Structure 1
Amino acid sequence: MLPFKSLLQLDKSSVTPIFIQVSEQLSRLIRAGTLGAGQRLPGTRQLADLLDLNRQTIVAAYEEGLAQGWLESRSGSGTYVATHFPEVKPQAFVEKKADEQSRIQPGYAFESVTFLVRPVLTTSAGLHLDDGFPDIRLAPMEELSRAYRSYFRWGNPQAHFGYGDTKGHPLLREQLSLHLNETRGLQTTPDNIMITRGSIMGLHLTGQVLLRSGDVVVTGEMTWAGATMNFQKAGASLRTVPVDQHGIDVNALAELCKQEGSVRMVYVTPHHHYPTTVTLRPDRRIQLLQLAEIYKFAILEDDYDYDFHYLSRPILPLASADPRGMVVYVGSLTKSVAPAFRIGYVVAPAALIDELARLRRIIDRQGDPMLEFAIGQLFKNRDMKRHFRKSLRTYHDRRDRFCDLLATELGDTVQFTKPDGGMAVWTRFDPSIDMEALATQAGQQGLYLSNGLAHNPPGQQLNGTRLGFASSTEEELERSVTILKKIIRKND
């Protein structure tokens, strides 16, 4: 038997519960290969005696491992390391009067890039089943207002209104580093963080720094257009791999790497794949990190809604298990608080952060220091943490109610899986339903929803769309589903 008493080092003074410490350390042993696939673990009573713990603590730790996908239970036999893990291997100017046309078209030529044509999303009045936006009515407005006022009373006023650090306000970087380390298992300092105006800016800067014309970027067959547009603008050549109920197909990625010979970047949304909301399975996470080391490509991890997970604890980001600095981690408070709060961040090794900041300086000298300071204060005072807890409870209830409505009112015309987290449900409609007509007729009745056409891979008709539930109250969700039901029945 492995010396578990030596391998599992527990800190009873830590704020992290003991059962979480046990579960996390077991997962690290699995990632390191100390515990192999299919290896039987000690019984709960036996391990509790070895570690001088209550048996229920070990039961809870094993249940956490089962929920995370690291362990599996065999009836009448015990608890084992999950069998689907790969083997771990260490590793002269004439003035002329302007005519009307000149106000529309310039007198010189320029290229209009068609792939940049994309509707601008705005928050519409009335009912909406959107892409998965937060409810701005829950945003901590009073707390934010107090934090803004404190900015004018704090420190040297002259410094407040001059130029600031291109990487972002020091307070927010410091507090965000602490927050990410605590909640996502990252090991950052403020030097590893740059504040941006939303995650889209982080994706753009990363693409501009890392990509050159012809570089291969791999995404899932279905993915976020905002990301691929940036890669294309950087001159990259896009490749795709399939996506199933466990996330992107990493085996297909491995084959693609062999065929291409050189892959520069892989873009993933592993916590909740966009648009389908599925979570990338742990063994695929390990294999993806291994492939990055072998083929020397960067992993661009877009973790757009990590703060909202409704079952157990969320699976930690790829960046938390990245020993070689292969992951660039991008996130945002847009989905956590409100779209108007243009606060995003990039987490990466300090050398890349420095280069990103140099590029950012020539297009956007700095962010909004007042907003960044205020958000930093909310983290420092734990107001942001309270907001996350409150929102999580509310969105959890709304998810459950919305999924019940879909099942009971539209069950014969839609297919969906209740998502473990996030703020939208990926919903496939019966092929007989015209999604464009459905979205148009719903809009005529005061309900916005996307027709889903942007999610279709080339040559495929998914007849699916993301239906956001978080930004609507339960009563608003009921009215929305009622409108959809009436339209579908009318068109039968």
Structure 2
Amino acid sequence: MFKFSKRVPADGTDAVGAILKAAADPKIISFAGGLPAPELFPVEGMKKATDKVYAEHGQQALQYGAAKGVTELRELILKRVKEKENVDAKLENVMVTTGSEQAIDLVGKAFVNPGDTVLVEEPTYLCALDVFRSYGANFVSVPMDEDGMKMDALEEALKAHPETALVYTVPNFQNPTGRTMPAERRKKFAELAAKYDVPVLEDNPYGDIRFAGEHVPSVKSFDHAGKVFYMSTFSKILAPGFRLGWLVADPKVIEKLTVLKQSADLHTDNLVQYVVTEFFKENDVDAHVKEISDLYGKRKQLMIDGIKKYFPKDVKYTDPEGGMFLWVEVPGVTDTVELFKQCLEHNVAFVPGDPFFAGKPQPGTFRLNYSNMQEDQIEVGLKRLGEALSQALEA
């Protein structure tokens, strides 16, 4: 018998893993995953970049490296966040992480003690909940509307919980809802962080993948007090298998996180850092991102058309301007996991909404992914899903 730490889930189950495993059956059309479209991975460009790195930086790429990351890549990140997000930072503000997931983990480790309060959107990214839960967080969920987290509700939560250790947000094409927070709310968000002296972790993995509407400046761009930590990743625009993310924060925060990272993995893969830096030098990454955005926009519209055509009329859904997901609410459904099982019988799958809620789940909610499904399968899958929903509501 093993005595696991309290960080390990007591029941030992992996609900999401079980869902994805069930959805992996080749007969099933699965909208459950969160995978980018693999046909757009820049394989040839990466092969050329890798060959050049081996030729010019082979010894450095294969040696131990700095925990903060390869300097050339950090400089590239600085330039990119300045141009894309209007974030004016210096090299000391930037660290590279092993995927954005490590950035969440390091911030959780650095700021959350057992019993501390973490404010999150309702619903929010399920893996962030898992991370903060592993460090003993008590969650307070902040309501959302179609424009993301509500700032009046956030201020009420901050007043009611002065012990708050961290606020976590995904303002662009939020996972799981696909919603985007407008600029005026982001400005207010940064003001509240300064007013209540609380750190904010702004997670922006999807922001580059915009296929409609106008770009919105980051929360970090309105931050004059150094309270907002901005994080992103190369997973959605280049390759998730590279596990390459980054964090921009106050230098004192970066120094502490660097120490924690050294005890976790010493440093992120050097070769991958050099390869991505070289790839940016030799390729038009913005053109590549536009190709991704155009494809995802087409697939999202096919999904919206399928929902309108096949779903029961009172079903609600979001209509994202970018990213990879949309959110569905089915009035009248009381058990979403049971609904998932019924949909599997129709050979179609989604991710039930339950794991995205820090508190009591909203029944009848689920997330659909459109980025990783061929166009001809989207309508077939939505037709199956609509039939399953209609049968469930009639039962």
Q: Distance in 2 between matches of 1:466 and 1:411?
A: 17
Q: CA deviation at 1:434?
A: 5.5
Equivalent pair of 2:178/2:327 in contact (CA under 8 Å): yes
Q: CA 1:358–1:484 in 2, change beyond 3 Å: closer, same or farther?
A: same
CA contact (8 A) 2:179 2:318 kept: no
Match of 2:30 in 1: 128
- Give CA deviations for 1:398-455 in whole Å, capped at 9, x if unaligned: 1112111111122526321311221111111242586434433443554332232223
The equivalent of 1:54 in structure 2 is none
**Shift in Å, 1:259:** 2.7
Letter in 2 for 1:113: P
- Confirm or deny that 1:417 pairs with 2:324: no
SS of structure 2 residue aligned to 1:466: strand
Deviates more, 1:451-460 or 1:113-122: 113-122
Residues 191/475 of structure 1: CA separation in 2 closer, same or farther (3 Å cut): same
SS in 2 for 1:153: helix
Q: Compared with structure 1, are the counterparts of its residues 116 and 200 closer, same or farther at alpha carbon in structure 2 (3 Å cutoff)?
A: farther
- Does structure 1 conserve the Cα–Cα contact (< 8 Å) formed by 2:182 and 2:216? no
Q: Indicate the residue corresponding to 2:341 in structure 1.
A: 440
In the alignment, which of 140, 144, 152 is matched to residue 239 of structure 1?
A: 140
Question: 2:228 matched to which residue of 1?
Answer: 327
Query: In angstroms, what is the RMSD of aligned CA positions?
Result: 2.5
Letter in 1 for 2:255: D
- Residues 241-265 of structure 1 deviation map (CA, whole Å, 9 limit, x = unaligned): 2112222122122223223333321
Q: Given the superposition, is the C-alpha separation of residues 331 and 116 from structure 1 closer, same or farther in structure 2, using an over 3 Å criterion?
A: farther
- Is residue 379–residue 385 contact of structure 1 (8 Å, CA) maintained in 2? no
1:388 positional shift: 0.4
1:192 is aligned to 2:93: yes
Q: Label 1:173 to 1:255 Cα distance change in 2 as closer, same or farther (>3 A).
A: same
Counterpart-to-counterpart distance in 2, 1:490 and 1:262: 47
Residues 241 and 110 (structure 1), Cα distance of their counterparts in 2 relative to 1, 3 Å cut: closer
The sequence identity of aligned pairs, in percent, is 25
Which residue identity lines up with residue 41 of structure 2 in the other structure?
A
Of stretches 407-416 and 369-378 in structure 1, the one that deviates more from structure 2 is 407-416
Measure how far apart 1:391 and its partner are. Answer: 0.5
5 Å-filtered alignment, 1:1-80, equals none
The answer to whether 1:263 aligns with 2:159 is: no
Counterpart of 2:200 (choices 299, 306, 318) is 299
Amino acid at match of 2:259: R
Give 2:10's match in structure 1, choosing from 108, 111, 114: 114
- 2:39 aligns with 137
Tell me: CA distance 1:117–1:286, structure 2 relative to 1, closer, same or farther (3 Å): farther
Matches within 5 A, 1:371-390: 371-390=272-291
Q: How does 1:157-168 map to 2 (within 5 A)?
A: 157-168=58-69
1:166, distance to aligned residue in structure 2 (A): 1.0
Q: State the TM-score, normalized to the length of structure 1.
A: 0.72
1:146 aligned onto 2:42: no
Q: Tell me which of 217, 220, 229 is aligned to 2:121.
A: 220
Question: In the alignment, what sits opposite 2:260?
Answer: 359
3-state SS in 2 of match to 1:154: helix
Structure 1: which 5+ residue stretches go unaligned? 1-104
Distance 1:311 1:386 in 2: 16
Q: How far 1:206 sits from its partner (Å)?
A: 1.0
Deviates more, 1:309-318 or 1:231-240: 231-240
Give the deviation of 1:124 after TM superposition: 3.5
Aligned residues of 2:64 and 2:270 also touching (Cα < 8 A): no
Q: Distance in 1 between matches of 2:335 and 2:199?
A: 40
Rounded to whole Å, the distance in 1 between the matches of 2:345 and 2:162 is 51
Change (3 A) 1:110 1:418: closer
User: Between Structure 1 and Structure 2, whose CA radius of gyration is higher?
Assistant: 1
Partners of 1:334 and 1:125 lie apart in 2 by 25
CA distance in 1 between counterparts of 2:215 and 2:33 reads 21
Taking the aligned partners of 1:321 and 1:116, their CA distance within structure 2 comes to: 41
1:427 counterpart letter in structure 2? V
- Moved beyond 6 Å, runs of 4+: none
Kindly tell me: are residues 293 and 456 of structure 1, through their superposed partners in 2, closer, same or farther at Cα, counting changes over 3 Å?
A: closer
Q: CA deviation at 1:144?
A: 0.9
Report the counterpart of residue 182 of structure 1 in structure 2: 83
May I ask how many residue pairs the two structures share in their alignment? 386
Cα distance, 1:133 vs structure 2: 2.7
Q: Name the structure, 1 or 2, with higher relative contact order (CA <8 Å, separation 6+).
A: 2
> Equivalents in 2 of 1:485, 1:312: separation in Å?
28
Instruction: Provide TM-score, normalisation by structure 2.
Output: 0.89
Distance of aligned partners of 1:237 and 1:489 in 2 relative to their CA distance in 1, 3 Å threshold: closer
